[in-house]
């Protein structure tokens, strides 16, 4: 049965390949389907071919034009996208540079505005007159001139610590206290107190020598405290500007004085 | 490849004719039309379309519009032609279902059996009528195989079926045709035609 089925299948395959005698009884069927075209099947050739020719002639031209337009559109799109991308990325890069967002990347730790110039000029002169006679209290003349120019604004700070007589003070602390409680120099009150604290008024001559030694120690503190020099809460009684230029901007704060003992040295470093 | 060359030679077409037709040469278009239009009409008639000439004209116009998508291979042109023909036939069947048009021949008494004795096949129309007694999908496959002369691979590409399924279906159809022809003297065997089109795309 299976062999008969396979034989019949092979015969059908040969019949379908074009052998009409492969399947007995289907010769007429095959001959009829594969016969030559009849006249009825070839009617209307002229009409159909004319319509086809018209459709073909119109179509390629439109396709070529469409392709050309598409090419132009692609070029235009590419140009527009390139321009837009340049604007977007260029603007983002400019904004990042202006706000300093790229400083960690570019390695710019500090950034100063191009149109801002900061000039700090300090001159501190301390004259200590040791009395030749032992009864008189030591006389100290302090003259400070501080010129600070920040962003085109120049502030000149004069000496405000001379209102309280040094002779009236029993010792150095009394002198500084007197200066601190003196309300005459309101504008430079903190600076005057600072200068009074740094002065040698009411001190013994040995204390003055010790202060000079302390000044050497303060150099050491400059080296050690450089990392915390920017911590300027300024509520204390001294605003240490020994190693910090930015602290010059905080002169008007609540601090009671500015310590400028090493400003000369800082001037040299700044130069 | 050899089968394709044989098929193209059997069509009477070559690449030069197709290239000329793509440029709008009327003679080349006429050659293609004369080579393929009889097969196209027989295929459309086998599928039972009511107005085969109209459908064939639509197919040729669509071929002209899509000829630029093909290369100069005649086999591919034939494949596109009958792919479009199948779709247009499907559209025609759907259209006839929406707006049924019944001919006077269909107004016969309902007690008449759907099978009729098969006489001698004297013409192409008789063979097409015999094919229409089969299931539409099988009749379509046999028409593509015998009338158009396509291989199983080409038919598979058009219909979306596997070559094995096509081979089995065509064998079953030929066996049914054999039975129909053998039953011409017998009244017991009949192959009824489905009431509604059973094409897979409907």
Give the CATH number for residue B126: 1.10.10.10
User: Does residue B111 sit within a domain?
Assistant: no
What is the chain B residue with the closest CA to A19?
Answer: B146
Is B146 in Cβ contact with A34 (below 8 Å)? Answer: yes
Residue A86 is assigned to a structural domain of this protein: yes
C-alpha radius of gyration, chain A, whole number = 51
Q: What angle do helix axes B124-131 and B163-182 make, rounded to 10 degrees? A: 110
Looking at per-residue pLDDT, the higher value among B165 and A39 belongs to: B165
Same domain, B55 and B129: no
Q: Is the CB of residue A59 less than 8 Å away from at least one CB of chain B?
A: yes
Whether residues A24 and A53 share a domain: the answer is: no
Mean pLDDT value of segment A201-208:
67
Same domain, A88 and A185: no
Same domain, A15 and A92: no
Domain assignment present for A111? no
> Do A145 and A261 sit in the same domain of this protein?
yes
A92 vs A104, A177, B92, CA distance in Å?
16, 57, 61
Count the Cβ atoms, other than its own, within 10 Å of residue A55: 18
Judged by average pLDDT, the poorest of A1-5, A180-184, B70-74 is A1-5
Mean pLDDT of A220-237: 42
Whether the Cβ atoms of residue A240 and residue A247 lie closer than 8 Å to each other: yes
Residue A33 has pLDDT above 80, yes or no: yes
Name the band, by pLDDT with cuts 50, 70 and 90, for residue A80.
confident
| Total count of residues recorded for chain B | 202
Q: How many domains does chain A contain in total? A: 3
Shortest Cα distance, chain B CAs vs residue A2, angstroms: 15
Are A52 and B64 within 8 A, CB to CB?
A: yes
* pLDDT band with cut points at 50, 70 and 90 for residue B164: very high
Confidence of residue B110 (pLDDT cuts 50, 70, 90): low
Q: Which residues of B66-76 are buried (b: 16+ CB within 10 A; e: fewer)?
A: bbeeeebebbb
Q: B14: pLDDT confidence band, cut at 50, 70 and 90? A: confident
The pLDDT of residue A267 is 47
Same domain, A89 and A130: no
Average pLDDT (B79-83) is 94
| Cα B159 from Cα B50, distance rounded (Å) | 22
> Could you tell me the CATH number of the domain that includes residue B17?
1.10.1740
- Domain holding B143, by residue range, is 120-190
Q: What is the pLDDT of residue B154?
A: 93
A-contacting residues in B 79-98 (Cβ below 8 Å):
none
Instruction: Using the predicted structure, report yes or no on whether residue B155 has a pLDDT greater than 90.
Output: yes
pLDDT at B158: 92
Has residue B198 been placed in a domain?
Answer: no
Q: What is the chain B residue with the closest CA to A9?
A: B171
Listed in sequence order, the residues at least 6 apart from B45 whose beta carbon sits closer than 8 Å to its beta carbon are: B52, B125, B128
CA distance A24 to chain B (A): 9
Same domain as A260, residue A183 = yes
Q: Among residues B159, B121, B181, B195, which one has the least CA distance to residue B43? A: B159
Give the pLDDT of residue B191. 44
Q: Is residue B109 part of a domain?
A: no
Average pLDDT over residues B4-22: 78
Quick check: B90 pLDDT over 80?
Answer: yes
Domain-terminating residue out of B47, B69, B99: B99
Give domain status of residue A41, yes or no.
no
A20 burial (CB, 10 Å; 0-12 / 13-18 / 19+) is middle
pLDDT > 90: percent of chain A: 2
Token digits for A125? Answer: 């002169």
B residues 161-180 closer than 8 Å to A (CB): 167, 170-171, 174-175, 177-178
Number of domains observed in the structure of chain B: 2
A27 and A159 in a single domain? The answer is no
Q: Are residues A265 and A217 in the same domain?
A: yes
Q: Looking at residue A102, what is its pLDDT?
A: 57
Confidence check: pLDDT of B35 > 80:
yes
The boundaries of the domain holding residue A249 are 118-223+232-270
Residue A134 belongs to a domain: yes
Statement to judge: residues A251 and A207 lie in one domain: yes
Same domain, A135 and A191: yes
On whether the CB atoms of residues A268 and A222 are closer than 8 A, the answer is no
Q: pLDDT tens digit string along A97-145?
A: 766 555 555 555 544 444 444 444 444 444 444 444 444 444 444 444 4
Per-residue pLDDT band for B67 (boundaries 50, 70, 90) equals confident
- Same domain membership, residue A209 and residue A82: no
For the stretch A153-180, pLDDT in tens is 444 444 444 445 677 778 888 888 888 8
Cα separation, A73 vs A83, whole angstroms? 15
Q: Is residue A172 part of a domain?
A: yes
Please name the member of B38, B53, B124 whose beta carbon is closest to the beta carbon of A32.
B124
Domain boundary among B35, B69, B99: B99
- Does residue A39 lie in a domain region? no
Element (H, E) at A129: strand A118-129
Per the domain annotation, does B3 fall within a domain?
Answer: no
The structure tokens listed for A270 are 């700044």
* pLDDT exceeds cutoff 80 at B146: yes
Consecutive H or E run containing A157: strand A153-157
Read off the pLDDT band of B97 (50, 70, 90).
Answer: confident
How large is the average pLDDT for residues B115-130?
A: 72
- Of A16-30, A103-117, B79-93, B139-153, which range is least confident? A103-117
Residues B22 and B60 in one domain: yes
Query: Does a structural domain hold residue A113?
Result: no
Nearest to A16 among B41, B122, B145 (CB): B145
Over residues A98-111, the pLDDT tens digits come to 665 555 555 555 44
Please check whether residues B90 and B161 belong to one and the same domain: no
Do residues B94 and B15 both lie within one domain? yes
Pairing verdict, β A258-259 and A239-240: parallel
What is the phi-psi region of residue A213: left when phi exceeds 0, alpha when psi lies from -120 to 50, beta otherwise?
Answer: alpha
pLDDT of residue B74 exceeding 80, the answer is yes
Identify which has the larger pLDDT, A195 or A161.
A195
Statement: residue B162 has pLDDT above 90: yes
- Is A124 found in the same domain as A258? yes
Q: Strands A153-157 and A258-259, how do they pair?
A: unpaired
Is the pLDDT reported for residue A244 higher than 70?
no
Residue B113 lies in a domain: no
Is B158 a member of any domain?
A: yes
- Do the Cβ atoms of B43 and B144 come closer than 8 Å? yes
Length of chain A in residues, anyone? 271
Whether B127 and B90 share a structural domain: no
Residues B35 and B64 both lie in one domain: yes
Are B74 and B11 a contacting pair, CB within 8 Å? yes
pLDDT at residue A184, as a whole number: 67
Q: In the structure, what pLDDT confidence band is assigned to residue B137 with cuts at 50, 70 and 90?
A: very high
């Amino acid at each position: 049965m299976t062999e008969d089925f396979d034989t019949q299948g092979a015969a059908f395959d040969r019949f379908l390949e074009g052998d009409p005698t492969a399947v007995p009884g289907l010769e007429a069927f095959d001959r009829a389907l594969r016969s030559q075209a009849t006249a009825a099947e070839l009617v209307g050739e002229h009409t159909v071919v004319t319509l086809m020719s018209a459709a073909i002639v119109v179509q390629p031209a439109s396709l070529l034009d469409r392709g050309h337009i598409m090419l132009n559109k692609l070029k235009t799109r590419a140009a527009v996208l390139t321009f837009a991308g340049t604007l977007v990325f260029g603007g983002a890069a400019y904004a990042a540079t202006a706000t300093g967002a790229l400083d960690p990347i570019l390695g710019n730790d500090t950034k100063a505005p191009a149109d801002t110039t900061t000039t700090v000029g300090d001159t501190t002169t301390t004259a200590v007159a040791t009395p030749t006679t032992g009864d008189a209290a030591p006389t100290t003349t302090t003259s400070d001139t501080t010129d600070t120019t920040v962003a085109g604004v120049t502030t000149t700070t004069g000496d405000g610590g001379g209102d309280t007589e040094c002779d009236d003070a029993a010792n150095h602390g009394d002198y500084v206290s007197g200066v601190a409680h003196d309300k005459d120099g309101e504008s430079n009150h903190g600076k005057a107190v600072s200068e009074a604290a740094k002065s040698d008024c009411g001190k013994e001559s040995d204390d003055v020598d010790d202060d000079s030694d302390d000044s050497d120690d303060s150099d050491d503190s400059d080296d050690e405290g450089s990392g915390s020099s920017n911590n300027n809460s300024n509520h204390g009684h001294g605003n240490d500007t020994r190693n910090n230029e930015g602290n010059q901007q905080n002169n008007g704060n609540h601090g009671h004085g500015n310590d400028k003992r090493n400003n000369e040295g800082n001037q040299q470093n700044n130069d | 490849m050899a089968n394709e060359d044989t098929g193209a030679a059997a069509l009477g077409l070559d690449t030069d004719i197709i290239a000329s037709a793509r440029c709008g040469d009327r003679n080349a278009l006429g050659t293609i039309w004369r080579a393929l239009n009889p097969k196209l009409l027989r295929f459309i008639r086998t599928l039972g379309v009511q107005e085969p000439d109209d459908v064939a004209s639509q197919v040729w116009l669509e071929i002209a519009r899509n000829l630029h998508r093909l290369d100069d291979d005649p086999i591919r042109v034939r494949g596109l032609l009958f792919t479009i023909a199948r779709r247009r036939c499907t559209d025609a069947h759907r259209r006839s279902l929406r707006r049924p048009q019944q001919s006077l021949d269909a107004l016969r008494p309902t007690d008449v059996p759907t099978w009729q004795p098969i006489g001698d096949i004297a013409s192409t129309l008789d063979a097409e009528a015999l094919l229409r007694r089969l299931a539409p999908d099988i009749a379509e496959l046999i028409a593509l195989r015998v009338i158009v002369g396509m291989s199983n691979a080409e038919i598979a590409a058009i219909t979306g079926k596997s070559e094995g399924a096509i081979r089995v279906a065509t064998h079953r159809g030929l066996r049914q045709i054999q039975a129909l022809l053998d039953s011409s003297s017998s009244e017991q065997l009949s192959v009824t035609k489905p009431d509604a089109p059973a094409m897979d795309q409907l």
